[in-house]
Structure 1
Amino acid sequence: MTRLVLAGAALAAAGAALAQAPATAEARNMRLAGYNDLQGRTAYQPTIAHQGQRWIAYVGHHGDRKLNPLTGKDEDNGTSIVDVTDVHNPKYLAHIPGEPGKAEQGGAQMVRVCSGADLPKADKSKFYMLRVFGNQAHEIWDVTDPARPSLLTTIGKGLKGTHKNFWECDTGIAYLVSGHPQWRTNRMTQIYDLSDPAKPVFIRDFGLVGQQPGAGGPVPIAVHGAISTGPKGNRVYFGYGTNTEGVVQIVDRAKLLNGAPEPTVENLLAPQVARLDLPPMHGAHTVFPIPGMPIAEFSKNLLGKTRDFLVITDEAIQKECLEGRQMAWFVDATTETKPFGVASWTVPEHSGNFCSRGGRFGTHSSNESMTPVYYRKIMFFAHFNAGVRAVDIRDPFNPKEIGFYIPAVNKNTVVLETPASMIAAKLPYTEAANRLAIQTNNVEVDDRGYIYIVDRANSGMHILELTGPARDIANWQAAVR
């Protein structure tokens, strides 16, 4: 693979360990537009909101504790708020502390934002942020002035787990990944009507059969998150699992919201359209729907010219490739009750010797924005030590990588802790596990076409743009005018 090595500052002062990692960014058809260090915090989900004449990035963090230079105090990792109107000069506006604790046990990983102008019953002049508070609860904040956020209300206190929420801004329906104390799993789904963010209305609890209170037998894998197509598409796509025993569940949205709420076996199955069980060594971190996809190759066929697809992204967990390769899978769901895989995509390991670079190698997440700039054309996949990858999906039967960007490690980059599962399994542990490595964790795009990646190993937020042939596919110039 041909690579363009971007110029970068030498990192000798950071010590011998830092010198083991690439000291310059690596890229093809992507370039750096802007950067913010996010106060050196370990980051999970970025969400980009267009607020009036401004563009604001809200970034959720894993648990830890760092100095906030704005207050001069050490604060538990929570939510960073960054003005990215000028992507070349991002301005850090505020940090909202999260739950005390390390990694998955603290912080405020997930964040979504809706405008009051879109929410049916909200104050039309305001903007609202939905976030998790560690594993304990969900919160709604008034972020109309993003530099001065204020807590509006708390939802679901006393939970035993949270994660990747989804909020329909046009209806207010929210799918909150929670851990209800009476359920048998630490992550199921609680559905709320947040059309008036100040007055949350509970609708129902939902999960796989076997997770509900009073069930017996093995407990199915926990949910990771959902993506809804809203009233028009009338589907909700649930992904369960990370790197093992994954499940994809296609659900009728109307039946889910209007059906009997008691978590009986019958009521949990009633809205289910289909269930796809993945192989044992693959999960479903993100399930991204692409319905109504025209297939150029089939344009002269009588049938099948347009297809519905799901793009399923696994999450790599173990360092040094000590697991099955986690990657992206393309599933044809045109016949919803019989979804089947038609393609897969991964970064070739030999293209960067990624299994020996240190850290995790494999996919983690895809972008979730359906902006017309990229939808049905290009998807972006966070790939840990292989950075972010741009993939041409115009032919979902043959996805092709068209660009990538791997940031250089910097003074804030740390070596991530060894996963407990790796220790428990007594897996081999080599020198590579102690090397500094970029760990691109999550990716999102905005309606201008900029790409935002954040790093699990404290390396900050990089704002990117496409170049060359990749930029042409996105029709970038039309998008930014």
Structure 2
Amino acid sequence: MTDLPVPDYARNMKLIGHSDQGGRPDALQVMVHRGYAYVAHPWSRGFSIVDVRDPKNPGATVYVPSPQNTWTIHLQTHEDLLLVVHARDLFADAAFAADEKVYYTRSVGETVGTAGGARPARNWSAGMAVYDIAQPTAPRQIGFFPVEGVGVHRIWYVGGRWAYVSALLDGYSDYILLVVDLADPTRPVEAGRWWIPGMHLAAGETPAWGEGRRFALHHALVEGDTAYACWRDGGLTILDIADRSKPKLLVHRNWSPPFGGGTHSALPLPARDLLVVADEAVADHEEDGRKHTFLFDIRDRANPVSIATLPTPDEADYTSKGGHFGPHNLHENRPGSFVSDTLLFATWQNAGVRVFDISDPFRPRETGALVPPAPVRMVDRRPNRPRVIQSADVFVDANGLVYSTDYNAGLAIMEYGG
């Protein structure tokens, strides 16, 4: 076992393992499935499969490259299926490469010229790839769900017939919700779609939210027949999807302004009629304002009421540290993983991974934290990015081990002391 890096800060959490993911240390989403970590690369393109059956000594890595000019930054695993997004590599695009703020403050469809309805020249793959992973380290592509446009950003799939994807299609201003029918995973087909009125530009709709803001679906989590969807600067929608072909709006809540937008991740806790919603910090030094993770009472799904926010890490001056400081992803209580309606695991970017006890939802408490050290080397292609940790995603396996990715620093494996 090689020496582990020393965390910058740890409380009630311990680093027990680390992998450089076969020399490709960048990753966004991570799924741990049957003893293997599937990590999606933003800069190296493609995805890797890391043997974590011994989490203290991660083993060999298998790398699967993406098609040319295509990013595959999010993925989902369930039983023998792996679903992987395909989309235009936007951070390799001249429109975004010079300034990451463009990505977060402007409609992507209008920026890259796909919103008007005409099909531009394509040199990337757009859609969702379906793999058979009965042999975990030998994924075999068996299907593909193509879309006409920039592509798919994120997926929610926990088995069964339906997958839920955010997709940017020609004629729309930004990512919308698609329901995908996987009754035959070799031939996925669209079953339904929903968007916020104003996004379908090719149909003559006009955005009402003004310049400098993005109404774009990041992703939706589904519980039963309800979809909880986060729309960046467009806030939260709760949708009735009992009829998958015709999602129906129950309520739309948006707290931006006065808050700074970036609504990113929703986590329903149905046993307690609670909903957790994280706003992503997307600018260095909190230039986009302090971002929060909110707790909502959803006893009446049509009237969610915010009752608390998770505490903000304050043991160091993270605002001045460099990079993004604030919420990003939540562990999403997937079937087969660690599931809790009182413990939340979250990434806080330059403040690492945080654990919160919400036994009293009106008084959330932080009960654990681990801030990995700065990356050894930078592979992030964006110009002038600071060499600081930017913990991106978090997954907690059924044994309670915590796996977290970073844009440059590899896969960190942790134990929580609670």
TM-score, normalization: structure 1?
Answer: 0.72
Aligned to 2:411: 461
Aligned to 2:231: 240
Letter in 1 for 2:37: A
Give, in angstroms, the shift of residue 195 of structure 1: 3.0
Aligned to 1:425: none
Distance (whole Å) between structure 2 residues aligned to residue 369 and residue 165 of structure 1 = 15
Does the 8 Å contact 1:94/1:146 carry over to 2? no
Please say if 1:28 is aligned against 2:7. Answer: no
SS in 2 for 1:31: strand
Please say if 1:46 is aligned against 2:37. Answer: no
Aligned to 1:364: 328
Change over 3 Å in CA distance of 1:291–1:198 after alignment to 2: same
Aligned to 1:375: 340
Which structure has the bigger radius of gyration?
A: 1
Distance (whole Å) between structure 2 residues aligned to residue 100 and residue 394 of structure 1 = 47
Give, in angstroms, the shift of residue 157 of structure 1: 4.1
Aligned to 1:395: 360
Distance (whole Å) between structure 2 residues aligned to residue 367 and residue 290 of structure 1 = 12
Give, in angstroms, the shift of residue 413 of structure 1: 4.1
Aligned to 1:134: 87
Aligned to 1:331: 296
Change over 3 Å in CA distance of 1:203–1:442 after alignment to 2: same
Please say if 1:198 is aligned against 2:163. Answer: no
Distance (whole Å) between structure 1 residues aligned to residue 381 and residue 355 of structure 2 = 25
Does the 8 Å contact 1:414/1:436 carry over to 2? no
Match of 2:51 among 83, 87, 90: 83
Distance (whole Å) between structure 1 residues aligned to residue 379 and residue 281 of structure 2 = 18
Aligned to 2:239: 251
Please say if 1:108 is aligned against 2:72. Answer: yes
Please say if 1:409 is aligned against 2:354. Answer: no
SS in 1 for 2:270: strand
Does the 8 Å contact 1:234/1:252 carry over to 2? yes
Give, in angstroms, the shift of residue 400 of structure 1: 0.6
Does the 8 Å contact 1:167/1:173 carry over to 2? yes
Match of 1:226 among 207, 220, 224: 220
Does the 8 Å contact 1:224/1:239 carry over to 2? yes
Distance (whole Å) between structure 2 residues aligned to residue 162 and residue 139 of structure 1 = 10
Change over 3 Å in CA distance of 1:24–1:8 after alignment to 2: farther
Give, in angstroms, the shift of residue 374 of structure 1: 4.3
Aligned to 1:283: 262
Aligned to 1:207: 195
Does the 8 Å contact 2:174/2:199 carry over to 1? no
Letter in 1 for 2:32: I
Give, in angstroms, the shift of residue 133 of structure 1: 1.8
SS in 2 for 1:40: coil
Change over 3 Å in CA distance of 1:331–1:168 after alignment to 2: same
Structure 1, residues 163-204: CA drift from partner, whole Å, max 9, x if none? 1211130x220111111113x223112211113211213212
SS in 2 for 1:362: coil
Aligned to 2:39: 59
Distance (whole Å) between structure 2 residues aligned to residue 84 and residue 390 of structure 1 = 22
Question: How many aligned positions are there?
Answer: 369
Does the 8 Å contact 2:375/2:389 carry over to 1? no
Aligned to 2:305: 340
Give, in angstroms, the shift of residue 320 of structure 1: 1.4
Please say if 1:187 is aligned against 2:166. Answer: no
Does the 8 Å contact 2:193/2:245 carry over to 1? no
RCO comparison, higher one (Cα < 8 Å, 6+):
2
SS in 1 for 2:242: helix
Letter in 1 for 2:61: L
- Structure 1 unpaired stretches of 5+: 1-6, 10-22, 66-76, 116-126, 260-267, 294-307, 419-432, 472-481
Does the 8 Å contact 1:178/1:187 carry over to 2? yes
- Structure 2 unpaired stretches of 5+: 89-125, 210-214
Change over 3 Å in CA distance of 1:107–1:92 after alignment to 2: farther
Give, in angstroms, the shift of residue 383 of structure 1: 0.6
Does the 8 Å contact 2:130/2:143 carry over to 1? yes
Give, in angstroms, the shift of residue 41 of structure 1: 3.6
Aligned to 1:98: 66
Does the 8 Å contact 1:168/1:228 carry over to 2? no
Does the 8 Å contact 1:99/1:108 carry over to 2? no
Distance (whole Å) between structure 2 residues aligned to residue 373 and residue 442 of structure 1 = 15
Change over 3 Å in CA distance of 1:151–1:414 after alignment to 2: closer
Aligned to 1:429: none
Aligned to 2:279: 314
Letter in 2 for 1:224: H
Change over 3 Å in CA distance of 1:44–1:390 after alignment to 2: same
Aligned to 1:448: 399
Distance (whole Å) between structure 1 residues aligned to residue 208 and residue 190 of structure 2 = 25
Distance (whole Å) between structure 2 residues aligned to residue 355 and residue 134 of structure 1 = 32
Aligned to 2:119: none
Does the 8 Å contact 2:313/2:351 carry over to 1? no
TM-score, normalization: structure 2?
Answer: 0.83
Letter in 2 for 1:193: D
Change over 3 Å in CA distance of 1:461–1:150 after alignment to 2: same
Distance (whole Å) between structure 2 residues aligned to residue 167 and residue 406 of structure 1 = 29
Structure 1, residues 135-163: CA drift from partner, whole Å, max 9, x if none? 32210112221222222122114421421
Structure 1, residues 45-71: CA drift from partner, whole Å, max 9, x if none? 001213xxxx12111121x34xxxxxx
Give, in angstroms, the shift of residue 327 of structure 1: 1.9
Distance (whole Å) between structure 2 residues aligned to residue 373 and residue 440 of structure 1 = 19
